[in-house]
Amino acid sequence: MGGDVTVFTPDNVNATFISYQINGCKRRELSRFAKGTTIIHIGTSDLEKCHISVPCSEEQDVIVSFFMTLDDQIDNEKALLEDWRELKKGLLQQMFI
């Protein structure tokens, strides 16, 4: 982000929590500052304009755990859906032989 890489290490913040914030609700806000077409950059000065609300560390952990559980469920459902698609494909091939 800007230059090569901007690194920030806030105190008492779960890195996964920040990742969910940036890739979730703050994504649209940050996309306004994106520059470039092939390689997208966001400058440090633009990052400073983005404010992220951070609850206490216990609440962060609960939120992260909740979203990680959802991500796992989504991955499992995607795998199950792919299995069903393969079954459908196989059955359709058998129908039209």
Nearest C-alpha neighbor of 35 from the set 81, 71, 2, 83: 2
Q: What Cα–Cα distance (Å) separates residue 64 from each residue in 52, 74, 90?
A: 15, 15, 39
Give 52-78 pLDDT, tens digit per residue.
Answer: 888 999 999 999 999 999 999 999 999
Nearest C-alpha neighbor of 10 from the set 42, 51, 40, 66: 51
**Global confidence as pTM:** 0.68
Q: Is the pLDDT of residue 91 over 50?
A: yes
Q: Is the pLDDT of residue 93 over 60?
A: yes
Give 22-47 pLDDT, tens digit per residue.
Answer: 888 788 888 888 888 888 778 788 77
Residue in this structure with the two tokens 């306004």, named with its chain if needed = 32
pLDDT for the residue 46: 79
User: CB atoms < 10 A from the CB of 89, how many?
Assistant: 10
pLDDT for the residue 70: 96
Q: Who's near 3: CB < 8 A, 6+ residues apart?
A: 43, 44
